[in-house]
Amino acid sequence: MDNQILKVNGLTMDFGGIRALNSLDLDVNRGEIVALIGPNGAGKTTFFNCITGIYAPTEGEVYLASPGSDTKVSLKGLKPNQVTEKGLARTFQNIRLFAKMTVLENVMIGRHCRTKATVLGAVFRNRTTRDEEQSILETSYDILEKVGLEQYVNEFANNLPYGAQRRLEVARALATEPLLLLLDEPAAGMNPQETIELEKLIKEISSEGQSILLIEHDMTLVMSLSDRIFVMDYGKKIAEGTPVEIRENPAVIKAYLGEDVDA
């Protein structure tokens, strides 16, 4: 009935005197890939930080679909870990892996909020804990295979090549079983070959029904992947539509070419 997975109303974020987000509305439907684009400093990362509970937005509402029910839950006031538990998982623009943990362990961390072994379980390794640990291992390995990092399982995360680190971030987020996956410039710094592989990966994840909200600067990637695109500049939404509509939108062209905006 209701196909929306994320609904954001009037999101505003002030840093002292700076309004980094200005009454932003955005929505993502089930199974869609939606792109959020805009010049540097437009407020895209701030948007992610606000909906994932890292910043507390000044104003506005964020609703996320809840599995098995038609009503959405508000994410307002939740801590980042609670937001992740509700089904919103993200990657970071400036890679934030757990450097001194292995690649596998990085993904296993993603399973944390879907498992519940306690201290006693850890010490006594009872049946339930062992089974849970086994399932964490298997799920994590499967995800690593999916993103093509299985040859690195036991490497420290910071020893991976750059492109692989970015894909590990995606793997780690996927391990939390998100309803909506948030990717913050996943192709940044990648070479063309790595970008093509990333595109394939995102398409594959999406084809399995994963809804994705993507911040990206690589326009070829954005145009080929997205079902819909939101464009923002100076914290405001300036356009919204399909890739074709966005490509021809005069406001977008202005924002990107840096022409003076007419009064």
Partner 1 sequence: MLLIKELKKALGVALWFIFLTFPIMVIKVDPIERIIRYRWENAAYVAIVAFTAYLVMSFFKMRKLRVTADKKEVKKSQNVIYSILNNKKQLTVLSFAILAIAIIFPHFFSVYQTNVMTTALMYVVLGLGLNIVVGMAGLLDLGFVAFYAVGAYSYALLNYHFGLGFWVVLPIGGALAAIFGIILGFPVLRLRGDYLAIVTLGFGEIIRLILENWGEFSQGPSGISNISRPGFFGMDFSLETSIMYMYYIMVIGVIVTIFIVNRLQDSRLGRAWIALREDEIACQAMGIDKRKTKLAAFSLGAFWAGLIGVVFAAKTTFINPASFTFLESAIILSIVVLGGMGSIIGVILGAFILILMPEYLRALSEFRMLAFGGVMVAMMVFRPQGMIANIRRTYKFEKQE
Given partner 1, ligand ADP, Mg ion, none, residue 38, with its beta carbon under 5 to 8 Å by kind, binds ligand ADP
The C-alpha atoms of residue 19 and residue 31 are separated, in whole angstroms, by 32
Given partner 1, Mg ion, ligand ADP, none, residue 40, with its beta carbon under 5 to 8 Å by kind, binds ligand ADP
Given Mg ion, partner 1, ligand ADP, none, residue 52, with its beta carbon under 5 to 8 Å by kind, binds partner 1
Query: Taking the complex as a whole, how short is the minimal distance between the CB of residue 2 and partner 1, in angstroms?
Result: 25
The C-alpha atoms of residue 88 and residue 90 are separated, in whole angstroms, by 7
242, 186, 240, 239: which is closest to 212 by C-alpha? 186
In angstroms, how far is CA 2 from the centroid of its own chain? 22
Residue 138 CB-half CA count within 13 A = 6
Query: Taking the complex as a whole, how short is the minimal distance between the CB of residue 232 and partner 1, in angstroms?
Result: 22
Is the CB of 27 or the CB of 216 nearer to Mg ion? Answer: 216
Is the CB of 20 or the CB of 83 nearer to ligand ADP? Answer: 20
Q: How many other CB atoms are found less than 10 A from the CB of residue 114? A: 15
Provide the binding-site residues for Mg ion, judged by CB under 5 A: 45, 93
Given Mg ion, ligand ADP, partner 1, none, residue 121, with its beta carbon under 5 to 8 Å by kind, binds partner 1
Is the CB of 48 or the CB of 230 nearer to partner 1? Answer: 48
Binding letters toward partner 1, positions 169-208, x by CB under 8 A: ---xx--x--------------------------------
Q: Which residues in 1-60 contact partner 1 (CB under 8 A)?
A: 52, 54
Is the CB of 45 or the CB of 139 nearer to ligand ADP? Answer: 45
Q: Which of 133, 197, 199, 240 binds partner 1 (CB under 8 A)?
A: 133
Interacting stretch for partner 1, rule CB under 8 A, among 64-72, 86-94, 185-193, 250-258?
Answer: 86-94
Query: Taking the complex as a whole, how short is the minimal distance between the CB of residue 3 and ligand ADP, in angstroms?
Result: 27
Residue 84 CB-half CA count within 13 A = 19
Is position 10 an interface residue for ligand ADP (rule: CB under 6 A)?
no
Q: Which of 141, 188, 227, 240 binds partner 1 (CB under 8 A)?
A: 141
Binding letters toward ligand ADP, positions 35-54, x by CB under 6 A: ---x-xxxxxxx--------
Q: Is the Cβ–Cβ distance between 98 and 82 less than 8 Å?
A: no
Q: Which residues bind ligand ADP (CB under 6 A)?
A: 15, 18, 20, 38, 40-46
